[in-house]
Amino acid sequence: MGVSLPALAADYAASSGTVTFDYRVTFIGVRGTSSDLTADVSFKPDNLDGASGTVSVRTASLKTGNGLQEEHMRGALGADAFPNMVYTLSGVNTSTMLSEGQTLVTTGSGKLSLKGVSRALTVPLKLTLNGGKVTVATQFKFNPHDFGVEYLGGADSVAVNVGFVLAPR
């Protein structure tokens, strides 16, 4: 017998996850990662459109394996003044119910806030419910210049992958 989720909105949280990014600076690929991710989401499994919450990554936690790159990146991202990058989810674009053992592919609507600037951003979502926990995965791109992130020779696109598991609180 599968695990049932409550019919009322429930609160879920993740205290870790993985964020990776790919960025180019003057013909040099910069790949980085962080596991300093938190998420707080509220939703009803039979009405995901009403989901809301936040996913946050500590800006200074992004690592590239190169200390000088990391120092420059923290400066470009304004890590001292803006310690977190936050995606605020305002809804999941589906009328499909999330069921045990099911993987649902859809999109999420919300805003990305980075360096004090917030912009609307729709992201693809892959949601899988197993044992009452929801595995969340997304891959998206954004233009860092739209957020005031300027770096000499920096590309106008950053590719981001995010993954975490939400557990009931």
Give the model confidence (pLDDT) of 113-164 as tens digits: 999 999 999 999 999 999 989 999 999 999 999 999 987 777 888 999 999 9
pLDDT at 9: 64
pLDDT (average), residues 23-40: 88
- Reported CATH class of domain 10-168: mainly beta
- Cα 8 to chain center, whole Å? 25
Residue-by-residue DSSP string for 6-58: PSS-EEEEES-EEEEEEEEETTEEEEEEE--EEEEEEEETTEEEEEEEEEEEE
pTM over 0.85? The answer is yes
pLDDT in tens, 88-107: 999 999 988 888 999 999 99
Residue 46 vs residue 114, higher pLDDT: 114
Mean pLDDT over 58-74 rounds to: 91
Residue pair 23/149 in contact (Cβ under 8 Å)? The answer is: no
Q: Residue 64 and residue 21: Cα distance in Å, rounded?
A: 9
